[in-house]
A = this chain, B = another copy of it.
Amino acid sequence: MSAHFADRLIAAIRDKGAPACVGIDPIYERLPADIAEQRELNDGTDSGSALDAVLEYCRRVIAIVAPLVPAVKINSAFFERFYWEGVEGYYSLVQEAAAAGLVVIGDVKRGDIGHTSGFYAQAHLGDPRFADLDDWVAPDAVTINAYFGLDGVKPFLEVVRQHDQDKGIFALVQTSNESATEIQGLTLDDGMKVSERVAMLVNRWATDEGLIGSSGYSCLGAVVSPRDEASTSKLRGLMPNSIFLVPGFGAQGKTADQVRNCFKPDGSGALVTASRSVLYAYDDMKYLEMYTSEWEKCVEHSCRDFVAALKAVVPQ
């Protein structure tokens, strides 16, 4: 069932009716009470029981959102916190989400030079080549840090090619945090911003032979968190063949107007992520008042609201 990653993602978006991605960023201390029986984690609890609760929660969230959205983004940091057992849990959720028919993005933000980056690419994007993990799959795509230039990106592109373009990459171009401007927002001698020049590099790499699918999009996308409308439109223009992975809708406070320019006029070209607003919907009075202690209904309702809000944003 190998198919070009971007084509596959776009088909999944069409099937579900919205370019919506739920971010799986689980924090033990915020889990619903019926999942986290005890909350003594920071006082020296066994890491295993905390992790079990986190994984149980994530499995149930994945089951809730799978019929509603085309993709999930699983953030490795929230699992690495539980050391190797957390990493095993991360990979188990990748299987879970893939089995539920979701496009799975591993938010790992890895990057290194040459052959070291190659091992990261093998670990996080290539399907396992070990007999004992033969029935496992890696995420469909991962996020990477391109500060190293092409050398750091190339090994990931090689894995994409080894998998007949069935895999994807999202390179960090512009992030959503306040201090992102300290480096990404610097102005170069030709008047461009660093993030814009990174966008040009991404576009050059993305349009390399064989990487663009029949949808017109490449296996190499970009993480773009919109700042203002003008800069977003500029980045959109600089990377016409890249799908934008757009964080920050919901809890991080990006508005519809900010997100809109990540799309092309035909409504394609972006996948928008909401994490905390869905994951912790039961902490939101709006949903809590509706359902009292039924956290699963809160999560489902907020996910539906996210999809509806996004549909209103996407150009028709």
Contact = CB atoms under 8 A, between A and B. Distances in A.
A45 B129 CA distance: 8
Of A47, A80, A91, A201, chain B has the most CB atoms within 10 Å of the CB of: A80
B123 A77 contact: yes
Nearest to A47: B130
Contacts of A215: none
A44 B151 contact: no
Interface string A150-184: 11100000000000000000001001111111111
A191 B190 CA distance: 11
Nearest to A76: B120
Q: Say which size band chain A's interface belongs to.
A: 35 or more
Given A145-B147, A189-B187, A201 B182 contact: yes
A122 interface: yes
Contacts of A41: 129-130
A286 interface: no
A70 to B, nearest CB: 23
Interface of A: 25, 41-42, 44-48, 50, 75, 77-78, 80-88, 91, 109-114, 116-117, 119-120, 122-124, 128-134, 145-152, 172, 175-184, 186-189, 191, 194, 197-198, 201
